[in-house]
Amino acid sequence: MAANTVPGRAGQWAALRPGEDAAAVARRLGAAHDRFVAGGARQAGRSTRSGPTGGSSRGSAAGDVALAADVRAVVLESWERSRCSGVDPEAESAGVAFGDVDLREYRAVHPLASVLPVVRTLLVDDAVDAELLVAISDADGRLLWVEGDTSMRDRAAAMAFAEGADWSESAMGTNAPGTSLALDHCVQLFGAEHFARTVRRWSCAAAPVHDPASGAILGSVDITGGMRVAAPEVLTLVRATVAAAEAELRLRGIAGGHRSDEWRDVSASASATVADALAPPAGAGSPHARRLRVLGGDRPTLRAGRGESRLSPRHAEILVLLTEHPDGLSAERLAVELDERSLDSVTVRAEMSRLRRVLGADMIASRPYRLTGSVLTDVMAVRGALSRGDVEEALRLYRGPALPDSLAPGVSEVRESLDARMREAVLHSGDPSLLQRWAATSTGRDDPLVWQALVALLRAGSPAFVQAKAHADLLERRFGRAATRLQRPRT
């Protein structure tokens, strides 16, 4: 049900009413939670001894009446859902949904990455001084960013309230990010309203973020901290931030035409890839989302499910070209993209037959050749970060040129285009730390203009300046002064 059409919820979303005694509420909620958990344990014991009774999972009617007097209906219903999902109220921490590499790649293409500057301006900057945390999750309740006060982050990490953790309601019980997504509505939780006891020391307020074009939930924005987060004005602040974030998404959608649809497609592909990597391998006939790694000098790999296979250079080239041309390529066109001089369509068809044995016959369609399943490449992830202006994230994801040894014309175009965008973005950033990282890559190591820009930004006389100046002079002697007179980036 849509967020603003949930009936009978007026006044249910805020944790405390103005002037309410927070300490008294905390004691009442703690006792109610204990009764709820104990009632569930007793019922489970009776079911074990006597078998299913067919009765309601909510226990006795008298217990329900007592709980309803002490606990908001929104919270009590969430407790019921948590119990039915099998959430352990004694669970000490959340489960990990993403590893570091998976998280970086997923975030790079997630649409909410584009609203990070808005959230940081409205919430994070103040959260650092106020000893609060700000978290952004995806639509499944997995935390993508957790920022704010350093000491609070360390404390929250003890229960795995951290980037990459699963805080969906079905995984961790009643909590603001997960419950706001389950209800598609903003919600605020105070102390013992959380289902897991380990979270009782915290309060939180969260609201879902929607795609302005489709109305689909993209994720949530959450503030987490101590008792003061339960104040009504905090929920208002979260709602205002979400409204600003959705306005930013709307503007970006207008500026980019159908770009918001493309974001959703890439995000869905990334989400499916990560989920596939964490889940048991599917049956032979079901399509997998796959992750293709082609950046850097290592042998290209394709990850499907929990397995990872190395690819031949030719198969990697073909996969890169097919991901770059989702509408497909004819055998003749693919031959030209792979080798415009000596490759014919018969050889291409033989290679495609061998590639099908690697991927599965259902992954590649013919006439034209095209991918029928999701394949996310690290090239896409870097592009996504660059499109958002997040040069630091792009550098983290960039491990080197795409298939650096490939001579295929189509692959060379992909490689040169990505490297040119990276170089331009780093030069325009004016950030010496980013320039240093780019200069350390195989692509930037022999680029005279990059080193000249680095020299101009570093403090004269510093060790880094001396080293950069020496290398810039070496490149100038090697390539000549004309190499450094290329068009400099606009400032």
| Model pLDDT for residues 66-115, shown as the tens digit of each residue | 777 789 999 999 999 999 988 999 888 888 888 777 888 888 889 999 89
Q: Which residue in this structure is represented by tokens 């189509």?
A: 410
Q: What is the pLDDT of residue 254?
A: 53
Q: Residue 289's pLDDT is what?
A: 61
Burial 417-433 (b: 16+ CB within 10 A, else e): ebbeebbebbbebeebe
The arrangement of secondary structure in 3-255, i.e. its CATH architecture, is 2-Layer Sandwich (3.30)
The partner residues of 209 in beta bridges, in order of sequence, read: 219
CA distance 315 to 409: 15
Most confident of 169-183, 279-293, 436-450: 169-183
Residue ranges of the chain that CATH labels 3.30.450.40: 3-255
- Do the beta carbons of residue 240 and residue 221 sit within 8 Å? no
The token pair at 292 is 């293709």
Residue 469: pLDDT band (50, 70, 90) is confident
Query: What was the pLDDT predicted at 288?
Result: 45
Task: pLDDT band for 266, please (50, 70, 90 cuts).
Answer: very low
Please say if the pLDDT value at position 258 is more than 50: no
Fold of 282-429: Arc Repressor Mutant, subunit A (1.10.10)
CA angle 204, 210, 212 (to 5 degrees): 150
- Between CA 170 and CA 178 the distance in angstroms is 8
pLDDT-above-70 percentage for the chain = 82
What's the CA gap between 115 and 247, in Å, rounded? Answer: 9
- What is the pLDDT averaged over residues 373-392? 88
State the pLDDT at residue 50.
43
| Higher-scoring residue by pLDDT: 56, 110 | 110
User: Would you state the pLDDT for residue 76?
Assistant: 93
Confidence category of residue 54, pLDDT binned at 50, 70, 90: very low
Task: In the chain, list all ranges with CATH 1.10.10.10.
Answer: 282-429
The answer to whether the predicted template modeling score (pTM) of the entire model surpasses 0.75 is no
Confidence (pLDDT) at 360: 76
Point out the least confidently predicted range of 14-18, 139-143, 336-340, 439-443: 14-18
- Dihedral sign (CA 76, 78, 84, 90): negative
CB-based contact 290:302 (threshold 8 Å): yes
Share of the chain above pLDDT 90, in %: 32
Cα separation, 472 vs 276, in Å, equals: 46
Residues 435-463: tens digit of each pLDDT: 888 888 888 888 888 888 888 888 888 88
Confidence of residue 4 (pLDDT cuts 50, 70, 90): very low
Residue 358 CB neighbours (<10 A): 15
**What is the average pLDDT value for the chain, to the nearest integer?**
80
Report which residue type is found at 3: A
State residue 222's pLDDT score: 96
